Amino acid sequence: MSTPIIIIIMGLFIFWGHYMNGVFERKSIPDVLGLMLLGLLLGPIFNLVDTTAFGKFGSIFSNLVLLFILFESGTDLKFSEVKTSLKAAAGITTIGFFFTWFTLAPLCYFVLNIPLLPSLFIGATLGGTSSAVVVGLVKKIKVTPKTATTLIMESAETDVFTLAVPLSILGLMITGQMQMSSVLSLFISSIVISLVIGIGGAFLWTFILGKFRGLKNTKFMTPAFLFILYGITEYLNFSGPLTALSFGVAIGNLDYFEPKILERIIPNQDIVLAKDEKDFFSEMVFLLRTFFFVYIGMNIKINDLFWLSWGAGFTGILFLVRIVAVKIVMHKNTPVLDKGVISFMIPKGLGAAVIATLPLQQGHPYGTTIQAICFSIILFSTLYCSILFFLIKKEITLPLYRFIFGKDKIVS
């Protein structure tokens, strides 16, 4: 495909993204569906675009999307909301991951006759949620700030699980060796070091801005510094998304910390992002989200109806299991609307797709099978999530959620 045609298509992507965003606002239909449909048409259906031509760019692009989305959402989170959501976020992240893992693995093992280790790998790979989908949908519905924060934090925190666990299982699949101590150390260190780099980087960047005020004259300096922090974290094999989120939260809440910690070092006028910078990040997030979901659609494999059908069925089971997790974790006083949203907010993203391709790249005999079932669940989890989001936003399914979770508790 020639360069002029590619540029024309990119322009059409942007117009389509704005159109779908307008449709979403009017009809409460998630723009994710329209963008993924466009990707499906361009890629696996009509084969107009060969995704292998993207090469390494595809992985870099997906990382940029997560980086911008998590940073922007982090700047909007209030520290008081983060504190009140920590328990719920940790609970739904942990229980949600293990429920998904221990549901998918037996299904793959007993129903599809996939060996144990590949089954465990599939379950662990799909145990998280997609930040790009979750953040975009949460901002479009009137859940409480605590619930919105919980879901955003979950989408970042699950990255720790979905990196440490499946990669460790993959090592056992390929080499036959895995040490539990290494898994635990990787998991704990990934959380701690990612948070240290993110929060510490926010204070460092604010200090730099205070010393070199000319840096604030351009909107690209904060993203550039964020790129560095994210890259360092990923290079050290820790959680880049968690660093991006914590950096955003710290930047957006330095006025909370500053009087107590760095009052003499960080000038007050430098601790909050200017409105034009926030507008810039919002535009970047919109642009990147548009290309991101088109790219996901292009990467979905639909040439095998066998795996598509099983993926559709398994995904439905995951949504039922999620309801159980919500009933266990969420407080009784949580509004029914919020519980309903949490119960279906389990879309799988491109991060899971990337991990799902690793066994095939390393020549594992079940690599093709793993990739096919994972891609199918990624597709249907996003599809189901979008449909359920539309139904609850229109209040069509609210009576069903009241039946499942009970009516709202009136707190005097």
CB distance 354 to 60 below 8 Å: no
Q: What is the mean pLDDT of residues 250-262?
A: 67
Domains and CATH numbers, the chain: 77-405 (1.20.1530.20)
Rg of the chain (C-alpha set): 21
Calculate the average pLDDT of the chain.
Answer: 82
pTM of this prediction?
0.79
Provide φ and ψ at 173, rounded to 5°.
-65, -40
**Among the ranges given (59-68, 212-221, 252-261), the one the predictor scored with the smallest mean pLDDT:** 252-261
Residue 186 has pLDDT above 70, yes or no: no
Q: What is the mean pLDDT of residues 368-373?
A: 89
Rounded distance between C-alpha atoms, residue 54 and residue 63, angstroms:
14
Integer distance in angstroms from the first to the last C-alpha of the chain?
Answer: 64
CA distance readout (Å), 88 to 91, 92, 148, 151, 304: 5, 6, 11, 9, 39
CB distance 177 to 171 below 8 Å: yes
Encode pLDDT of 271-327 as tens digits.
Answer: 556 677 777 778 888 888 788 778 777 877 666 788 889 999 999 999 999 999 999
State residue 58's pLDDT score. 65
Encode pLDDT of 92-126 as tens digits.
Answer: 999 999 999 999 999 999 999 999 999 999 999 99
Which DSSP string do the residues of 354-402 spell out, in sequence order?
HHHTHHHHTT-TTHHHHHHHHHHHHHHHHHHHHHHHHHHHTTSSHHHHH
Residue 411 has pLDDT above 80, yes or no: no
CB distance 44 to 303 below 8 Å: yes
State residue 78's pLDDT score. 76
Closest CA to 101 of 168, 192, 177: 168
**Among the ranges given (179-188, 248-257, 288-297), the one the predictor scored with the smallest mean pLDDT:** 179-188
